[in-house]
Structure 1
Amino acid sequence: MFGNALFVEHARPAAIREHPLASWLAVGTVCMGAFMGQLDASIVTLTFPAVQAQFAAPLAAVEWISLSYLVTLVGLVAGAGRVSDAYGRKLMYLYGFVVFTAASAACALAPSLSWLIAFRVVQAVGAALLQANSVALVVTSVARGRMREALSVQAAAQALGLALGPTVGGALVLAAGWQWVFWVNVPVGIVALIAGHFLLPRTRERTPLGAFDWPGLVLLASTSTAFLLAISAVSGLGLSPVITVSLFVLSIALSAAFVVRELRAASPLLDLQVLRPAGVSVGLLGALAAYLVLFGPLALFPQVIAAGGAALGLAISALPAGFALSAVGGNRWLRGADTRSRAVGGAAVAAFAIVGLLFVGQSLVAIAVLLGVLGLGLGVFIPANNAAIMGAIPARSAAVGGGLLNMGRGLGTALGVALVMLCLHLGAGQGAMFALASLLSVAVLAGVAGAVPGAARAVESPATNAEL
């Protein structure tokens, strides 16, 4: 009986369920998870110098505080979406809060770099349950015609977490130590867990799980791990050239094996048929590129700007602050623009800002202004692109779609960190310029993805009501 109770979703109280703002209360609850996840994502990179000093470890090893988390997230998020579509999105989302919050406390107590990385892996398990369901809970809680607006609110919550991360993280690391970067997640997680129990709707439409695709899960996680380990090896991790080349070859072989497995599996981890519409496949490429551009500067500037502490954190905060401003106000400012125009225009603004960053040197004021402009562009592109992806996916597969979107986000974030560290290692004195040029190329790629016919158009079709 107790075991069955662990897989039961509880209904909201009638007073909340019947309230005119019930849908937006659910969106607000999801925004707590979005805030916490992005606060953690933006705050952790600021711990690198302090952790590197405390544990006397090379930067290529310390970066795995982020990469271990992101690799686990990428490997699990699609599977978490499948499980959630079968057992309930609300239920799995709440379990995600439990795991993430407990693991955050464990990270703060970690006695060594190895233990810290291990606890970050556990933390990512909780994050996978949160991220696989966040978008799905939003789009199934509001009418389809309000989907883009609701996703913009969620994006604003993510941006607020990103915006506060550098400032709060810089102050916490200086005043209390890097451990408090993880302690800060605990009270937010407890409040969100309680709110989710009372405010989130139960899952109305489910997809049977069937036989879970464990081989697919292992292949996906192994592919991303091998690839990022190979990039870290090139970035100075200390592995031999033979091992480095072998990791690249292994990642290619594993990715091919994963595709073959998913095409043949009776109940695949990732239904590749979902990727057939251009609104999904090209949109996911755009999502990966956009999140790489969003997170790359958060890893870059703490390593290359001489001024540190709160001043640097405040300057970096301009990026997610601009993102938040654009995500919240974009629907009002661009009311007449279709989704495709928003995506292309947002990517163009982001590319313009990166060009400016190539010429400003160490000026914190100029960096802050241009990072703010970069955030404005990404704040237009990302909600429009996310809405196009989710609009092209059937409601019954909403959590799988959300998992795909968040897998793209996780992979983009991981590649943003890895690409920046690679550029800094290979570029010697010109590493920052090398990194910014690479980010510019990726921003252009996002714009091309948004311009492809058939992509970024899915939500322009007649709206239908979502399941509530």
Structure 2
Amino acid sequence: MNAASTLTSRLLTTGLLTERPRPRGIAGWRHAHWLAVGTVCLGAFLGQLTASVTALVYPALQRHFGTGFAAVEWVALAYLLVLVALLAPVGRLSDLVGRKTMYIGGFAVFGLASLGAGFADGLGTLVALRAVQAVGGAMMQANSVALVARGVPEHAMRRALGIQAAAQGLGLALGPSLGGLLVEHASWRWVFWINVPVALLGVLAGWFLLPRTHRPDARPLTRPLTRPLSEPATRPVPRPRGATRPDPDGGRFDLAGLLLLAASTTALLLALSAASGLPLPGWAVAALLLATVLCALGLVRQERRATRPILAPGLVNTPGVRPGLAVSLIGYLLLFCPLVLGPVLLAEAGLPTGRVGLLITLLPAAFAVAATAGGALLPRGWSDVARCRFGAALAGAGLLGCVLLPVAGAPATAQAFPLLAAGWGLGVLLPANNALVMRAIPAECSAVGGGMVNMARSLGTALGTALPVLGVHLAGPVLGGRAVLLALAAVAVLAVALTRPVRRR
């Protein structure tokens, strides 16, 4: 990382990576932080729109490229794997060059890769461009939570994170209907081209509306952090007025940790895909599972001794961070599993395609509404811990209702109620949990912490996409689907137990 740090320093010196402040008229407005939140919401909307719209093009891609579903599936898996691997290191790089710079660059990379993906003439080219698209997605997602948490007043943090989650829910809800219309009336290529104008708008909005997060005179500390972040300091050291915060993560970049993280997640998703019907022999599945375990153990060992670890054990061991990251993973696992599994169960029950689409849309729509305004319906004195526990319990009850309610012959309101309850509970849970995690993380590590939150979210998304396919493949659509939903209800109870109060650091 020394060469990268030197190159970054030279670029900062020449001004190529120097962040520009907002215009004075915008910076001086007392509600300017909501303009920054709106800019972050563009990236949140774009990321989740991509996640929900891609599955709609699988049949069209199979026909166009003349290949099977196992190959086409990597259009989604390549994006998720690169995203999970890059979120933490991109968060660290953001501390060097600034979160605003990385966020705007993420829009640019994402838009250019989307434009190229629409012109792809081969499946391999499309998968490669999706991987490049994930680089831009990582640049946005690794900084989104930190930009919100550090850019708004303390009293508005939960509301701002709720608005960001609502933008994600809007992207999730709009994706299936928009993708279906584009594929049916235009071409699968427009599923990728539709990202380009949104990305261009994000570049312009980020340039003018995001506050500067890195000053030219800010220099990172060159020595490594010797005291774990979870260990309290014996005596606070006063910092001169106007001084910049030191970078607690000096040292060499953890390339070995990055490779082990990428290898473990790739092996796990490959094993799940093979167990779900990918034509691989049984010994290959066993080897992939073994590689997952070995790489995960190697990652833990590497992160404990690295001077600049990818996953920052000091942050992970900070009280409240580890369970908060686990709850974030669980929340997106609970969100994406029904989105993948719901159409299978409803189609087996004989429901027409139009009604299936409307019912499935209720889950992310309720999530979006609850993330924005759901807290207003709760007692005003409730803490974020109480909101997390209530949201997880409500989501678990909704998923349990999906298991117990007979879909065939049930009235429309009875079919919709469990999905609305699950979406509403997740909309209450995730913003409150994100607020708890970011309060537990020191301000100078907010980009790294935000990257870990988004990495947990991406892992939950990946598992939420893979596990339903595995359950349906092993036990059939009805029995396997209901078994997965029942397991999800149990996992929601685990989220209730994991939620803990934290102190602001």
Superposed pair shares fold, TM > 0.5: yes
Q: Equivalent residue for 1:383?
A: 431
Deviation at 1:216, TM superposition (A): 1.3
> Greater CA deviation, 190-199 or 295-304?
295-304
Matches within 5 A, 1:41-440: 41-204=51-214, 205=245, 207=247, 210-306=251-347, 311-334=355-378, 335-358=380-403, 359-361=405-407, 365=412, 366-428=414-476, 431-440=477-486
CA contact (8 A) 2:396 2:492 kept: no
Contact 1:102 1:186 survives alignment (8 Å): yes
Q: Which amino acid aligns with 2:445?
A: S
**Bigger Cα displacement from structure 2, 22-31 vs 200-209:** 200-209
Would the alpha carbon gap of residues 309 and 97 (structure 1) be closer, same or farther in structure 2, given more than 3 Å must change? farther
1-structure distance, mates of 2:168, 2:181: 20
Deviations 1:398-426 (A, max 9, x none): 01111111000000000011101111211
Closer/same/farther in 2, CA of residues 356 and 178 from structure 1, 3 Å limit: farther
Q: Which moved more, 1:307-316 or 1:406-415?
A: 307-316
For 1:23 and 1:265, how far apart are their aligned partners in 2? 37
d(CA) in 2 for partners of 1:268, 1:364: 53
- What CA distance in whole angstroms lies between the structure 1 residues aligned with 2:66 and 2:468? 21
Is contact 2:363–2:422 with CA below 8 Å preserved after alignment? Answer: yes
Shift of the alpha carbon at 1:277? 3.1
CA contact (8 A) 1:87 1:206 kept: no
* Aligned equivalent of 1:441, options 473, 479, 487: 487
Higher mean C-alpha displacement, 204-213 vs 8-17: 204-213
Structure-2 change in CA distance of 1:76 and 1:99 (3 Å): same
CA distance in 2, matches of 1:70, 1:436: 26
What TM-score results when the alignment is normalised by the length of structure 1? 0.92
Q: CA 1:310/1:10 → structure 2, altered by over 3 Å: closer, same or farther?
A: farther
SS state at 1:11 partner: coil
Could you tell me how far 1:305 is from its partner in structure 2?
Answer: 4.2
2:329–2:459 Cα contact (<8 Å) kept? yes
What is the CA–CA distance in structure 2 between the aligned matches of 1:410 and 1:291, rounded to whole Å?
A: 8
CA distance in 1 between partners of 2:110 and 2:416 (Å): 31
The answer for the alignment partner of 1:36 in structure 2 is 46
Shift of 1:386: 1.1
Secondary structure class of the residue paired with 1:236? coil
Aligned-pair CA distance for 1:319: 0.9
**Offset of 1:446 from its aligned partner?**
3.6
Per-residue deviation, residues 371-395 of structure 1 (Å, max 9, x unmatched): 2221111101111111111111011
Residue ranges of structure 2 left out of the alignment (5+ in a row): 1-9, 215-244
Q: Give the whole-Å Cα distance in 2 for the aligned partners of 1:193 and 1:34.
A: 14
CA distance in 2, matches of 1:392, 1:33: 24
Deviates most, 5-14 or 147-156: 5-14
| Contact 1:279 1:392 (C-alpha < 8 Å) held by counterparts | yes
- Looking at structure 1, the residues matched to 123 and 418 of structure 2 have their Cα atoms a distance apart, in angstroms, of 34
Asked whether the equivalents of residues 370 and 428 of structure 2 are also in contact (C-alpha less than 8 Å), the reply is: yes
Q: Normalising by structure 2, what TM-score?
A: 0.86
Structure 1 unaligned blocks of 5 or more = none
**Length, aligned pairs only:** 457
The structural deviation recorded for 1:367 is 4.3
CA RMSD in angstroms comes to 2.1
Structure (1/2) with the larger helix percentage: 1
Q: Tell me the amino acid that sits aligned with residue 85 of structure 2.
A: G
Are the counterparts in 2 of residues 136 and 398 from structure 1 also a CA contact under 8 Å? yes
Whether the 8 Å CA contact 1:46–1:302 is kept in 2: the answer is no
Aligned-pair distance for 1:308?
6.7
Contact 1:44 1:181 in 2 (8 A): yes
One-letter code aligned to 2:384 = T
Separation in 1 of the partners of 2:180 and 2:246? Answer: 43
For residues 206 and 346 of structure 1, the distance between their equivalents in structure 2, rounded to whole angstroms, comes to: 37
Deviations 1:135-166 (A, max 9, x none): 00001101223211111111111111111112
Change (3 A) 1:13 1:209: farther
Q: Is the 8 A contact 1:38 1:159 kept in 2?
A: yes
C-alpha change, 1:353 and 1:303, in structure 2 (3 Å) is: same
- Indicate if the aligned counterparts of 1:343 and 1:447 stay in contact, CA closer than 8 A: no
Q: CA deviation at 1:219?
A: 1.1
Output the amino acid matched with 2:396.
Answer: A
Q: 1:17, 1:412 → 2: CA distance?
A: 36
